[in-house]
């Protein structure tokens, strides 16, 4: 692996280990595609002596996108459901984080991967320069290394979301939005969080093979 990989890995791990600062929250953000499906035949409700039944056959209804922002210190997450994940969509999520969810923050320390939409430039493609500049000044960017998306804590939250909410047939965007909002509300009410334990010192011992070999000469 390159020194760039190691630097980005340690940057994110140090960020997770830093003391909580409510004026500079750490927010992890990522997206995932979702396939929409509907029943071909109406499911049968439970009846005396018979459980609820659903036919194995289904109809494909296209795809959608989910984006999740996650703050482990608050035990808070927010889910956006949309048709796509363009730079304009990404810029809209950032604006909502800054103006709605963290209006009093001095800065949001943002953890994202290296997807080509995940850049400050996305703001300038979606908003007028002054507005893009205002939002960008509230964001501090921390990128996971390439092929190191497991370092983004929100990946764990996306796995929980898939297990608890996406293991059913969701036929359209409205249903997807309703179900994922209910999921986020429930988890937020519980202040469900992730206790990240892997540290920079752990990486230097357990993942020492990822570090560049130093030339003894």
Q: How confident is the model at residue 48 (pLDDT cuts 50, 70, 90)?
A: confident
Q: State the pLDDT at residue 118.
A: 96
Note the pLDDT of residue 72. 97
In a domain, 52, yes or no: no
Domain-located, residue 148: yes
81, pLDDT greater than 70:
yes
**DSSP3 helix / strand / coil % (the chain, rounded to 5):** 40, 25, 40
CA pair distance 91, 216, nearest whole angstrom:
46
**Residue 61, pLDDT score:** 72
Closest by Cα among 145, 76, 85, 73 to 111: 145
CATH number at residue 131: 3.30.420.10
Spatial CA neighbour of 64 closest among 37, 88, 36 = 36
The angle, 0 to 180 degrees and rounded to 10, between the axes of the packed helices 173-189 and 154-164 is 110
User: Which tokens sit at 92?
Assistant: 């809209």
Residue with the bigger pLDDT between 14 and 36: it is 14
Residue 153 in domain: yes
Per the structure, the count of domains in the chain is 1
Supply the pLDDT for residue 41.
60
Q: In what order do the strands lie in the sheet with 139-143?
A: 76-82, 58-71, 26-39, 108-112, 139-143
pTM beyond 0.85, yes or no: yes
- Give Cβ neighbours of residue 202 (< 8 Å, ≥ 6 apart): none
Tokens read off for 194: 């992730």
User: CA geometry: angle at 171 spanning 169 and 177, to 5°?
Assistant: 95
Domain that holds residue 116: 3-37+59-189
What pLDDT is attached to residue 119?
A: 95
In 3D, which of 30, 35, 33, 34 has the Cα closest to residue 115? 30
Q: Determine, yes or no, domain membership for 48.
A: no
155-212 pLDDT, tens digit each: 999 999 999 988 887 889 999 999 999 999 999 999 999 999 999 999 999 999 999 8
Does a structural domain hold residue 80?
yes
18-36 pLDDT, tens digit per residue, is 999 999 999 999 999 999 8
Going by the DSSP 8-state scheme, the letter that residue 23 receives in this structure is T
Number of helices (H) and strands (E) in the chain: give both, helices first. 7, 5
Residue 117 lies in a domain: yes
Asked whether residue 158 is assigned to any structural domain, the reply reads: yes
* Residue 215 domain-assigned (yes or no): no
Question: Of the ranges 32-36, 40-44, 67-71, 203-207, which one carries the lowest mean pLDDT score?
Answer: 40-44
């Amino acid at each position: 692996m390159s020194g760039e990989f190691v630097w980005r890995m340690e940057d994110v791990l140090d960020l997770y280990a830093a003391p909580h600062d409510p004026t500079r929250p750490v927010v992890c953000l990522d997206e995932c595609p979702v396939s929409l499906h509907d029943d071909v035949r109406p499911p049968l409700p439970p009846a005396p002596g018979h459980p609820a039944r659903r036919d194995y056959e289904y109809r494909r209804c296209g795809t959608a996108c989910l984006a999740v922002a996650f703050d482990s210190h608050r035990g808070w997450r927010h889910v956006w459901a949309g048709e796509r994940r363009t730079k304009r969509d990404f810029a809209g999520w950032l604006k909502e984080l800054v103006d709605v969810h963290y209006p009093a923050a001095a800065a949001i320390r943002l953890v994202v991967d290296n997807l080509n939409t995940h850049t400050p430039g996305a703001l300038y493609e979606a908003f007028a320069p002054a507005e893009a500049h205002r939002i960008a000044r509230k964001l501090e960017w921390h990128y996971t290394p390439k092929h190191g998306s497991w370092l983004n804590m929100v990946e764990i939250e996306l796995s929980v979301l898939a297990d608890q909410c996406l293991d059913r047939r969701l036929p359209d965007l409205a249903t997807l939005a309703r179900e994922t909002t209910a999921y986020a509300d429930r988890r937020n009410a519980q202040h469900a969080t992730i206790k990240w334990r892997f540290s920079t010192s752990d990486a230097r011992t357990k993942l020492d093979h990822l570090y560049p070999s130093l030339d003894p000469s």
